[in-house]
Structure 1
């Protein structure tokens, strides 16, 4: 029963989209039962039409309504720069009336109205992913209006977030009952907003609640909800989890992340790629060819009905509907894969890419240098191992803003997890002598007295131990200005110290004891309780899937893969060899990158693509045939210089986008060619009187359905 209800619901929806369709279907009843009924006798006989019956007059009326509506649509198309070629349908339906083939006239009206319904269905199906994005757009926002938090307080005090933390953070539940729901366009900068469970974040802002769980799948396709903490950026379009959150608006709706995404989607929907425009233009010669075949058939046979027989089979639908449906479907597939394009022309050009330029840092590699190993200082006999060093260093580096800090902090968190797991597995051989040192047995390290010396390093206490991480001179220096180098087993300050006088030579000696770094490596040194004990080595590591992605691009026929970077050539060459780059351009200034891409872009049939982060690489993205900005959904997606935006920060989206583009164009051509060939064969058969006019009208509908359904196969994931 439920299936039957859904079926009739869909039928009702289709009838709402095309109101004339049920009228045309019902008109078949009086045509069949009262077609020749003439209660007026011969009083309504007119030239050409003769004396139609009651049911036949109803069909003529339907024909006039549909012809007027079709002509109006053709005029509107011409005003918008599109070719109005529905003239075939108009001539075909009028010709069937002229030769008194009223069932054929009814069949053509059914074909036109049902064709509109099929077109609406196909467009909706093709735009499903895009429509989902549009429908998820936030419409309202809850502006908190507690004492000391509302707009008046923000205006007086200048910072509503501080007011909320003082007044409202202890009573977030109460805040849920003290807000005004307003249209999202009315949200002002600094407003404190409440987002209830399951609601969409209305504007970009800063999280005021302690924690929140956000579903970012609408933004970047990320399947797993992300947990964020107080002070984090929250983006419009994210869906809140199971608890209410409070946030402070940092952007108005028009400037927020989701609105920028919607602008990209809207521009892609409204654009028409060159190949679709070409298909529109091809409809004109097809119309002329159809009229010539119909005219010749009439002239040779001497039978006017032959003209109508041919024209009811002449359908430009594969050109007018199948081509744009295929491209909308391809655009929707890209959106579902986390790739947004600014115009459908980009989809066409994507399939023709022959050379791809990549930025190195953050594109081919991860965004921050990662820890690759920990080197314990030879002769520094301690009871600490590599994981303890990483745990302590990561704890203090988590408070730093240095370029290496995030990599060390991440490695420290992983080391902490390993230490905890070993403890749970029964290992009790801790480096700390039983419980005599502070922090023994704690689940998380206790960190105190953090101090960062800009450009040198960061220091602090971790579980009661003094930890210094940074440059060699910073980490190894004791309070008395001496380099402290560990030699004895006990951990005690300043044992085995070397005087700092002549320090440059001593630092070189220490580096030699650690070993030489590779050209692409960098290091931070670690001391614990005044003793230099280890060196943490980091490097700009390739993305885990970079090599496979570049190999896939070669498989797709991309002939050349190049790297553009301002980094040292030695470092660039190492990354290039690891991921499979063909050509390296290193030590470049921004203008050098632009020149390299411009030279390739102007070289004959080469279609170039530049893949970068969309901000630092903006000039290069602009000069390439296709600029691709990679983001993770937390940065501005709508880069002015990029035509393609990857929302999930996954480099695998590059070959996937190319594969989708190529398949979309292939499916479009198949749908168009198959439809036109079938229509042409049908017209020739009708010209020889092999297909009756009524049968031809229904056969044309079948050709339309085949071509449109074939175009919709562009939605199927076969790449």
Structure 2
């Protein structure tokens, strides 16, 4: 019973909403009552009963309309109102360069009134108003993901107003006036922040974001720690924990604790507003296929009028003209085509892909060649640890996990390009050591079990020092650890660093001749490297010493994204003929990655202008190949702009690449590339199916009506069914079936 009540409550709410969107719909529905009850009632006949019938008839009858009853007059008035509004809309469409088929609806209404088929007239007005209601529903359903983005746009911000903080630095005098009549404790509480429209936030303002609120503008985190939900920005399902100094993006939802931040951008230039601009641009644009559907309006209108005219001329019955036109449904062209494309745009948004215009959706489905940047696009953004090599001949109780753990601890304080990969591997190694200790392993290097990962929850770290360009050192659980270049890690102390030269074996002879004193040290360095063995062309290494002894090297490389191979295989499965890598990296490194992920062709050691030339040589529209360039970095911006379609892979932050691209992937997921192409192709296919099926059913119905097989009233209602089928079929583009 409760579920039934809830159903009717939702139904009533939906009806009320539809009536608000299309006020004429309930008027048209209610008009059926007087048409049925008072259709033939003419109260003026009684007033003129005393006059001769001929005079009475001549005084009431109107050319074409005859002598309608009260209910029929009501329908005529409705027709005139709707015709006027429709013609006004047609004029606006023509001014905007669009050619619609509203003329058929206008002629259908007027012709049914002219032949006194008032129920058919009412049915056509119901078709038009209910069609508007269906369009509103379909648009809102198709725009669900886009609407959710718009509704979540920040509206207000809490600006901290305490003296000496943010605006308080400028407004101390005013703040002091506000505190004059209250105790300091009370006023500090009352004046902690002021809520203002988000447009009033200025760079430098200190903001407070309460639990569950949306971050209003881009800024820098001042609080020690915050948990942010970024799903509205990049689709990331798991909340992200950030720390003081981290960038905080507008549109993120704060977690369970209030945070403070300093605004770095005004609202209009913040990340979320950029997303909304992309959404609005996509919604307002009209793709080429929809424009093609508009152009079909002219031949369809001509065909409908020809069928109707021939039926009238052959039969000699004016009603036959109206019979045909009530079936000349314009909805497949007017509504189904744009609804399908809005639905496709919404599907892309739900998949974390934003497009700047709907023409992009059309061109996505025609891509024949895809170019990829390498680093950060096909590969992860930082080099990752692939193995630890212990120095042969050195006896130690430490194993690979001990080395990783200690190196990761000190590298966590470094800003070097390799530090993040080593720190990440160190964290994983620490977890493995703890797991082994919890399982009962006690083969520790020291009786006190003080070595990393054994007997301690967290390592004790002291005296971290980074030597620019060489390495980082520090004390971990009482052991001196050095990580970096070979000469740095092998040095007995820091003073020796400046005298130790790091060189390749090939340059050893030259070094001996130029620096006889340093040649021996260089030979030692080369000998150590030889003992470790040769690195592959795409590998790099950091060396590790513990307590003054070189014991291992950590080998890193630019590894492919975990899902890159699957994504490229999916592109091949979609019929993309060629996948090409464009990179500034060395050819040997590039070809290793290309083989691993399934790239067909490699162009290496390129400057940005070389990438532009490579893409421009293949690009074009029409019958020529449609090229797509996928990248993520600032140096990708020129080539993204040069490609027919530029795709920027981001984690939700705004970069030069995303500013230049027509497609922005917000969730840093390369599998979104083939998925976007699949969604685009399905959207176009469904749009064409909806339009062609709707027009075909309409033509069949018109021919049947021309032979008087479909009465005019039934034809008017049949047209409504064709409209519903066409629009609902277009709406299936929003379903996740790719």
In the alignment, which residue of structure 2 is the partner of 1:545?
A: 563
- Residue 94 of structure 1 pairs with residue 110 of structure 2: yes
Q: CA deviation digits over 1:65-98, x for unaligned, max 9?
A: 0000000111111122211320100001000000
In 1, distance between residues paired with 2:207 and 2:439? 46
1:613-624 alignment runs, 5 A limit: 613=632, 615-624=634-643
Which residue of structure 2 lines up, in the alignment, with residue 370 of structure 1? 384
Aligned to 2:608: 590
What is the rounded CA distance, in whole Å, between the counterparts of 1:64 and 1:34 in structure 2?
20
**What residue number does 1:161 align with?**
none
Which shows bigger deviation, 201-210 or 301-310? Answer: 201-210
Out of 390, 401, 411, the residue aligned to residue 425 of structure 2 is 411
**Structure 1 residues 637 and 4: CA distance shift in structure 2, 3 A:** farther
Q: Would you say the 8 A contact 1:207–1:231 is kept in 2?
A: yes
Q: Is the partner of 1:574 in helix, strand or coil?
A: helix
Call closer, same or farther: CA 1:411–1:101 in 2, change over 3 Å: same
Query: Secondary structure in 2 aligned to 1:616?
Result: helix
Change in CA separation of 1:438 and 1:326 when aligned onto 2, cut-off 3 Å: closer
> How far off its partner does 1:145 sit?
1.6
Residue equivalent to 2:215: 201
Given candidates 679, 689, 707, the residue that maps to 2:698 is 679
Query: Which of these residues, 681, 701, 705, is aligned with residue 662 of structure 1?
Result: 681
Q: 1:174 to 1:530 in 2, by over 3 A?
A: farther
Aligned residue for 1:525, secondary structure, equals strand
Matched, 1:23 2:27: yes
Matched, 1:562 2:577: no
The offset of 1:174, in angstroms, is 7.5
TM-fit CA distance, 1:640: 2.8
* Aligned residue number for residue 165 of structure 1: none
Cα displacement string for residues 178-223 of structure 1 (whole angstroms, at most 9, x for unaligned residues) = 2100000001111111111111000011111121111110000011
**Which residue among 694, 712, 724 is the counterpart of 1:693?**
712
In the alignment of these two chains, the number of paired residues is: 690
Please state if 1:84 is matched with 2:100.
yes
Does 2:629 correspond to 1:610? yes
2: CA distance, partners of 1:180 / 1:512: 66
CA–CA distance in structure 1, aligned partners of residues 692 and 531 of structure 2:
72
- Contact 2:405/2:452, CA 8 A, preserved across alignment: no
Secondary structure of the residue aligned to 1:561 is strand
1:221 paired residue among 235, 238, 244: 235
Instruction: Name the TM-score, length of structure 1 as normaliser.
Output: 0.93
Alignment root-mean-square deviation, CA: 1.9
Change (3 A) 1:453 1:51: same
By how many angstroms is 1:176 displaced? 9.2
Cα 1:614–1:29, aligned 2, differ >3 Å: closer, same or farther?
farther
Aligned mates of 1:523, 1:203 — CA distance in 2: 41
C-alpha distance in structure 2 between counterparts of 1:407 and 1:688, whole Å: 77
C-alpha distance in 2, partners of 1:317/1:60?
23
Contact 1:440 1:463 in 2 (8 A): no
Distance 1:220 1:207 in 2: 19
Match of 1:72 among 80, 88, 102: 88
Equivalent position SS for 2:372: strand
SS in structure 2 at match of 1:430: coil
1:581 aligns with 2:595: no
- Deviation, 1:631, is 0.2
Assess, with a 3 A threshold, how the Cα gap between structure 1 residues 110 and 605 changes in structure 2: closer, same or farther. Answer: same
Task: Please state whether the residue corresponding to 1:532 is helix, strand or coil.
Answer: strand
Could you tell me which of 137, 142, 147 is aligned with 2:158? Answer: 142
In structure 2, distance between residues paired with 1:221 and 1:57: 56
Q: 1:312 to 1:538 in 2, by over 3 A?
A: same
State which of 290, 293, 307 in structure 1 corresponds to 2:321. 307
Deviation (angstroms), 1:500: 6.4
Q: Which stretch of structure 1 is more off in the superposition, 469-478 or 433-442?
A: 433-442
Alpha-carbon offset, residue 398 of structure 1: 1.1
With over 3 angstroms needed to count, the CA separation of the structure-2 counterparts of 1:543 and 1:143, relative to structure 1, is: same
1:176 and 1:194 in contact (8 A); partners too: no
1:439-472 Cα distance to aligned partner (Å, 9 max, x none): 9732112222221111111111112211111110
Shift of 1:624: 0.8
Query: Quick one: which of 428, 447, 459 aligns to 1:445?
Result: 459
Aligned mates of 2:347, 2:278 — CA distance in 1: 15
Aligned position for 2:148: 132
Q: TM-score, normalised by structure 2?
A: 0.91
Structure 2: stretches of 5+ with no match in the other structure: 46-56, 173-184, 501-516
1:321/1:708 contact within 8 Å kept: yes
Distance in 2 separating the partners of 1:660 and 1:615: 28
